[in-house]
Amino acid sequence: MSDATNVKVWPCVPEAIDWSHDGIIALAADDSVELLFPNSDINESEHKNTSWQRIPLQAPWFTSHELPEKEPAPVPLYSVGEEISTSSPINIAWSPPGLAKHRRCALGVLTSSLVLSIWSADGSPRSPLSWRRRLIINDSLRDYFKNDVAVEGSVLLAQDRGEEIVGEYVRLRSRARAFTWAPALPSTEYSCIVGTQWNWGQHIVAVANEDNQIALVIVESPASTFGKEDTWNAEVLNHFTIMPDSESIFTVPNTFDDFMKQQRYVSHIAWSPWTIQGDWFHSVLVYATSDDVRARIVTYRQDTIGLGDEVVYQNVCLRHKGPMKWSPRIIDDDKLTLALFGNDGLSLLTVSMSDAAILDCKTHSLDGRWDEISGVVWNDADNTPARLHISSIHSTLSCPTAAVEMSGNKIIGLSSPNWREQISDTQALFSAQNDLKGNVKSKVWGLCGSPLGDFISACHTIHPSDMLEYGPPKERYCAVAISNSKSYNKNQLVRFPANGVSAESIAFTLRKWLENTVEDAGQVSVFAEEMLNNMMSAHGPIQKKQTNSDRYHDSNDIAKIATSFKLDVFMDVNMFKDRYTILINQICSMKPSNTLPKVLIAFRLATATVNTIPKTLTHGSSFSRDIFASHQQLLALVNKVINQDIPSGVTTTTTTASGTIQSHPESDTCDFCEAVIPFSDLETATCLNGHQFPRCGLTFLAIQAPRISKFCGICGTGFFNEEFVAVQEALPGNSGHELEDVEGQVRTLAGSNPDKLRSRGDNGTHDTERNEMLQRESEDRQTHQDDLILAQATEQEEDVTDELPVSLARILFLACDVCIYCGGKYIG
């Protein structure tokens, strides 16, 4: 069994496809980028059209500010793509997780206008209005190269062309021709946490321009900088120039053959996985020129990139043939495998991590196919032979080789993989529906693998082969066939990889295996138990370092302190099983009951807050003091309710510097009636007059206003969002603002409802005024007021981000960058 989805894209000529760690498939089409989301509703049938959802991104659309109109360049620098292109997407690639908001992946989009831009979502990724273009990398290239034009000349142009040409060097070097993201930096410890990472690392993209140069660009966002920056930015850390052979340089190309031979830019780039050697990260960057393939060692440490000497791989020509693809598996800690496609077929190179030299080369025939290789996917699961899946645009179904396997020192062909069988079935159906009697051909435009490596998606189109294709464009579409890489077998349930994975990827895999291996509802509990054992084996408890409270005193670096708190909370031995139990219950149970594991997780979180965080941080702001008091109340409630019946691993009493936790006065009050909200439930807050609100899953305070919350995309738990936390931290006692100024700003913003932003510390001051304003509030004005408040909240957050001190609130929300209850990413 496999899952296939037909996605209608007009026009129906896709260019590239990629699958993110967040479970989103991106497809580059002629006039947009299509995003596909798996339906997470367990009640939906896989055979319905709702099994996948689709939203388009208008990536080709640029404003005049983003992409100013350009005058035609001089003939030596002229580029059809830059001046008159329609900006169709020609390549896309997801970044490693952690760059976009809520620690999601950002999408790099390269258009035919030679512009590379970065896209991400602010709220829910399923909403088209949440997606925005955050950066244009070409701007960073322009800022960087304009400073060294006088120092370094172009290898394409003669130096005596005049000042007009010299002045256009920057334009030449700002065009993007190819790009690739650097893989996620490895972690020396705690790399198998589901959902989050011990250290997100830096995000780097390699960009080839049109002057035989490759720039290494570091990309930062508010999420990747722990809130230190309020905007996205990119900076070129280093670059190098590729010196082509003298035969490929023509001072004045006169014939078409001269233009074809001339080396102008790198057509393909591939970045290998990282290894750790001492204090530096090492990887290999390979790139293809018109005549050969070359490589360099790339080293990285703390925003410093080093480049090794260039190594030329002789007798390998990739021009017009296809991509280069690194295997994710590292052999003996210092060897990598690289797949290349040349005129002679497939070449698998074993490359040394120390000097990028070729240690071994194996070749395999590709059945003499003449068309371009359109897709390559490594299926490199642990403890199994490495497999390579291959597609070409025209001959995928007509040539026998669609996958190969590394068996010892040989490369052997495999039987037809599931994804090709799926395309063949779709082709047969198309023939029957249109009475073509088998005169059908398929074009496969790309392949990509799922984050866990257990599914492969193939983007293809179906056409008649014995006649002209006609019909309105609205009836033409491409299909994305998603197939499991191995047959479902209830006796060999899925084994999760040991590296870091997202909860969304695990949820997708669990749902598919449940649907295809469990027929009796009575066996669901057995399946869930086996999956829990698998997850505990692959992503179970790790021997963590002894907690040292001095770690919170030694540094004012919010990133280091948040990482230390993550160690105390996410790495707790007893947290793993409860978190995985909730995740599995969300998939396997129609009505999941996660009350007990949620209570235990909340109890451990509060225990870590009360016992670990120094009082100087917990009492640094009024908001942090409220959070600390709320956590104390939670501990008192849990101790009172379950007392000695708490499972192993949870203490029934919590001791602080002042002694055993006791009951504390209620610190949360209702914004509508000023009544006290007693702490009697972990999920719902009800004031004494009956007003009911949900509680934040981290602070356990009541969420009493719209648009100040976010939710877990898997279990649905609600939390305060980052903008609200930043505003609360900017209130008196944090950034030096006077109380009257802040109160005045809030009242001015809120108009007839000043409580849309909760200004803590002034309870009971303006009761009469607030009640009168609440009565005058109308539904028609509420939405506009909320928008105004949020805009001001964002503005206020940007103004004080760098001034905010380290506090409990900031530590809590930065450390718990994914849902602490199931590991899911936030939405909203």
Residues 225-249 have pLDDT tens digits of 877 777 899 999 999 998 887 777 7
DSSP label at residue 563: H
| Cα 588 to Cα 508: distance, rounded to the nearest angstrom | 12
Using DSSP, state whether 352 is helix, strand or coil.
strand
Q: Is 5 in contact with 50 (CB distance < 8 Å)? A: no
CA 287 from centre of chain: 25
Angle CA 552–554–556, to nearest 5 = 75
Q: Is 372 in contact with 446 (CB distance < 8 Å)? A: no
Q: For position 680, what pLDDT does the model report?
A: 87
Q: Is 462 in contact with 39 (CB distance < 8 Å)? A: no
Of 228 and 505, more confident: 505
Q: Which two tokens stand for residue 636?
A: 């008192």
Mean pLDDT of 320-325: 78
Q: Which domain holds residue 705?
A: 541-821
Answer yes or no: is 576 within a domain: yes
For residue range 123-143, list pLDDT tens digits in order.
889 999 999 999 999 999 999
| Cα 141 to Cα 656: distance, rounded to the nearest angstrom | 54
Q: Is 347 in contact with 316 (CB distance < 8 Å)? A: yes
Which residues, 6 or more positions from 47, have their beta carbon under 8 angstroms from its beta carbon?
Answer: none
Which residues, 6 or more positions from 255, have their beta carbon under 8 angstroms from its beta carbon?
Answer: none
Answer yes or no: is 240 within a domain: no
Query: Treating both helix axes as pointing N-terminal to C-terminal, what angle do 573-588 and 524-539 enclose, rounded to 10 degrees?
Result: 140
Q: Which residue has the tokens 């994710």?
A: 328
Q: Record the pTM.
A: 0.86
| Cα 818 to Cα 164: distance, rounded to the nearest angstrom | 53
Answer yes or no: is 569 within a domain: yes
Number of H helices, E strands in the chain: 18, 37
| Cα 807 to Cα 558: distance, rounded to the nearest angstrom | 9
Using DSSP, state whether 804 is helix, strand or coil.
coil
Mean pLDDT of 97-120: 94
Q: Where is mean pLDDT largest: 48-52, 355-359, 543-547, 795-799? A: 355-359
Cβ burial of 598 (10 Å; 0-12, 13-18, 19+) is buried
| Cα 237 to Cα 215: distance, rounded to the nearest angstrom | 8
Q: How many domains does the chain have?
A: 1
- Is the pLDDT at 473 greater than 50? The verdict is yes
For residue range 641-694, list pLDDT tens digits in order.
766 454 444 444 444 444 444 445 566 889 898 899 998 888 999 999 999 999
In order, the DSSP letters of 48-105 are SGGGEEEEEE-TT---TTTS---PPPPGGG--HHHHH----EEEEEEPPTTSSGGG--
Answer yes or no: is 559 within a domain: yes
CA 589 from centre of chain: 28
Which residue(s) pair with 203 in the sheet?
A: 219
Residue type, 548: N
- Mapping DSSP onto H, E and C, the string for 203-251 reads EEEEEECCCCEEEEEEEECCCCCCCCCCCCEEEEEEEEECCCCHHHCCC
Given phi > 0 = left and psi -120 to 50 = alpha, else beta, which region is 229?
beta
Answer yes or no: is 590 within a domain: yes
Query: Per mean pLDDT, which range of 149-153, 385-389, 717-721 is the poorest?
Result: 149-153
Query: Per mean pLDDT, which range of 89-98, 543-552, 553-562, 666-675 is the poorest?
Result: 543-552
Query: Per mean pLDDT, which range of 17-21, 90-94, 578-582, 742-746 is the poorest?
Result: 742-746
Using DSSP, state whether 39 is helix, strand or coil.
coil
Of 518 and 179, more confident: 179
Q: Is 727 in contact with 793 (CB distance < 8 Å)? A: yes
Residue 791: pLDDT band (50, 70, 90) is: very low
Residue 121: pLDDT band (50, 70, 90) is: very high
Residue 490: pLDDT band (50, 70, 90) is: confident
- Is the pLDDT at 399 greater than 80? The verdict is yes
Mean pLDDT of 208-237: 89
Q: Which two tokens stand for residue 749?
A: 């913003």
Q: For position 758, what pLDDT does the model report?
A: 37
Q: For position 558, what pLDDT does the model report?
A: 80
Answer yes or no: is 682 within a domain: yes
Residue environment code for 21-40, b if the CB has 16+ CB neighbours within 10 A, otherwise e? bbbbbbbbbbbbbbbbbbbb
Strands 89-94 and 345-352, bridge-based pairing: unpaired
Of 342 and 188, more confident: 342
Of 725 and 544, more confident: 725
Of 796 and 56, more confident: 56
For residue range 301-318, list pLDDT tens digits in order.
887 899 999 999 877 766
Q: Is 411 in contact with 362 (CB distance < 8 Å)? A: yes
Residue 589: pLDDT band (50, 70, 90) is: confident
CA 540 from centre of chain: 23
Mean pLDDT of 243-263: 77
DSSP label at residue 184: P
Of 227 and 569, more confident: 569
What torsion, rounded to 10 degrees, do the Cα atoms 36, 37, 43, 47 define? 20
Answer yes or no: is 687 within a domain: yes
Q: For position 175, what pLDDT does the model report?
A: 92
Residue 789: pLDDT band (50, 70, 90) is: very low
Q: For position 590, what pLDDT does the model report?
A: 74
In order, the DSSP letters of 476-541 are --EEEEEEESS---TTS-----SS---HHHHHHHHHHHHHHH--SGGGHHHHHHHHHHHHHHHH--
Residue 326: pLDDT band (50, 70, 90) is: very high
Q: For position 549, what pLDDT does the model report?
A: 54
Average pLDDT, the chain: 80
Query: Per mean pLDDT, which range of 219-223, 565-569, 604-608, 729-733 is the poorest?
Result: 729-733
Residue 761: pLDDT band (50, 70, 90) is: very low
Answer yes or no: is 740 within a domain: yes
- Is the pLDDT at 389 greater than 90? The verdict is yes
Residue type, 565: F
Q: For position 35, what pLDDT does the model report?
A: 92
CA atoms within 13 A on the CB side of 320: 6
